[in-house]
């Protein structure tokens, strides 16, 4: 299977689980992902050197969850917004997003090839999506292109853990034994939730992802690991 076929298979999978995606995410994370998203937004507004007329671009936006967090946490931080843009290659996901988020523009596109003008966004986020981008370095280069100077790229992701002690074994048991069964039960799509732990195992460590961001020209600003290393927040500046 070549890279294009692999990417299309992933997109098709997300089309299939779009209608149950939000519910399944809440069940699998037991709602903890809300605190991860909140921290990502709040820390970004703390680090960003501007707060008025912001443009937020959420890549692999899925059902639009993160766009809602940006609006709500931005309001709490006193920020004002000019535009919200959601980009995703899955039309099924975007159909759900349009029902939830009526203040954003939505674009069907891949992360590595976005029809967005350069120097457009003040904040670019991708939450649990960079792992699913086959041409990852091309996508990161594209993030750099569409961000304004001084803009922030914000990544939340399940990075590969290097530690394999007791905590690592507990996390592995959940990810490989419980999550696929529970996700499959809620979504009725067992293949999609078998894919998740496998995709994490085949992904990067946090340090490797930092290196790819730096190779694209970004300067790291902040990194934090959550819940025994299950999730990682990375914020970098153009």
**Domains, the chain, ordered by start:** 3-160+205-237 (3.40.50.150)
Binding site residues for S-adenosyl-L-methionine, as ranges?
A: 63, 88, 127
Q: How far apart are CA 138 and CA 141, in angstroms?
A: 5
Q: Which residue has the higher pLDDT, 218 or 174?
A: 218
Q: How far apart are CA 160 and CA 163, in angstroms?
A: 9
The total number of residues shown for the chain amounts to: 238
Q: Which residue has the higher pLDDT, 119 or 162?
A: 119
Q: Which residue has the higher pLDDT, 23 or 208?
A: 208
Q: How far apart are CA 113 and CA 200, in angstroms?
A: 23
| Confidence (pLDDT) at 131 | 85
DSSP structural state of residue 228? T
- Can you tell me which residue has the tokens 């890279």? 3
**DSSP-assigned beta bridge partners for residue 107:** 87
Q: Which residue has the higher pLDDT, 24 or 139?
A: 139
| Confidence (pLDDT) at 80 | 98
| Confidence (pLDDT) at 9 | 72
Binding site residues, as ranges?
A: 63, 88, 127
DSSP structural state of residue 177? I
């Amino acid at each position: 299977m070549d890279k294009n076929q692999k990417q299309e298979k992933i997109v098709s999978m997300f089309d299939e689980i779009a209608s149950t995606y939000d519910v399944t995410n809440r069940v699998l994370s037991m709602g903890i992902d809300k605190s991860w998203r909140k921290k990502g937004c709040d820390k970004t507004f703390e680090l960003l050197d501007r707060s008025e007329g912001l443009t937020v671009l959420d890549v692999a936006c899925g059902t639009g969850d993160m766009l809602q967090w940006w609006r709500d946490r931005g309001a709490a931080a006193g920020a004002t917004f000019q535009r919200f843009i959601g980009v995703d290659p899955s039309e099924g996901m975007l159909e759900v997003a349009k029902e939830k988020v009526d203040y954003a523009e939505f674009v069907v596109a891949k992360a590595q090839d976005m029809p967005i003008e350069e120097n457009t966004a003040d904040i670019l986020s991708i939450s649990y999506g960079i792992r699913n981008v086959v041409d990852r370095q091309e996508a990161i280069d594209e993030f750099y292109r569409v961000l304004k100077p001084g803009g922030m790229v914000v990544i939340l992701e399940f990075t590969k853990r290097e530690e394999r002690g007791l905590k690592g074994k507990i996390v592995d048991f959940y990810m490989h034994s419980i999550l696929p069964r529970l996700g499959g039960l809620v979504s009725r799509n067992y293949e999609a939730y078998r894919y998740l732990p496998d995709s994490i195992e085949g992904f990067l460590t946090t340090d490797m992802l930092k290196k790819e961001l730096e190779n694209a020209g970004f300067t790291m600003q902040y990194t934090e690991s959550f819940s025994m290393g299950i999730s990682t927040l990375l914020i970098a500046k153009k």
